[in-house]
Amino acid sequence: MVIWLIGLSGAGKTTIGEALANRLKKTQKNTVFLDGDTIRHIVGDNLGYSLEERRLSGWRICRFCEHLDKEGLNVVCSVISLFTEHRDWNRKNYSAYFEVYIKVPLPELYQRNQKGIYSGFLEKKISNVAGLDLPFEEPEADLIIENKAPFVSPDIHAETILNLL
């Protein structure tokens, strides 16, 4: 099974994904957690962040998850996932697939600005930012989590996901 957590940078995908994977590991030891940044590092970090480079990176992530799924692992994968074509492919190629969209309003993401992406974009120091100068279509996910103030514990979000599996 692959649980695909989608959202813009700073939405809380990694935090919720880690909480979910940790809960799953208690009963299913064959669970792994993957994050888009970690996968980029594993495969050589040789791609930038243009739309086409993100598309290629997305295919790498999809196929890596497919391999792990075929090996009998449960995968919790936290990625921006810009492309509908990747998500459609996932639904057709994994043994089981559950998609979660971690939704946060842009003004709140600007305030969080954990990696400096949003301030860098506003200061015109960086470009190719998903949801800003790169299009981000909200997915038709199996579950949408509104991860905005007032905050809810990542463990509660993880429990919500587990209850729907």
40 pLDDT higher than 90: no
Catalytic residues: 81
39 pLDDT higher than 90: no
CATH class of 2-164: alpha beta
User: Any idea which of 51-55, 72-76, 93-97 has the lowest mean pLDDT?
Assistant: 51-55
DSSP secondary structure of 75-90: EEEEE----HHHHHHH
- Residue 48: what pLDDT? 84
35 pLDDT higher than 90: yes
What is the CB-side half-sphere exposure of residue 148 using CA atoms within 13 A?
13
- Residue 137: what pLDDT? 86
- Residue 113: what pLDDT? 83
- Residue 127: what pLDDT? 92
Is residue 24 within 8 Å of residue 119, measured between CB atoms? no
User: Any idea which of 1-5, 43-47, 82-86, 145-149 has the lowest mean pLDDT?
Assistant: 43-47
Name 10's Cβ contacts closer than 8 Å, sequence gap at least 6: 104, 109, 112, 113, 114, 115, 117, 118
Handedness of CA 147, 84, 2, 96 (dihedral sign): positive
Is residue 145 within 8 Å of residue 100, measured between CB atoms? yes
Which residues, in sequence order, are bridge partners of residue 4? 77, 99
- Which two structure tokens, joined as six digits, stand for 76? 């919790």
- Residue 60: what pLDDT? 93
Q: Is the pTM of this model over 0.75?
A: yes
Backbone dihedral region of 39: left (phi > 0), alpha (psi from -120 to 50 degrees) or beta? alpha
Read off the pLDDT of residues 143-162 as tens digits, 9 standing for 90 and up.
Answer: 999 998 888 999 999 999 99
Domain range annotation of the chain: 2-164
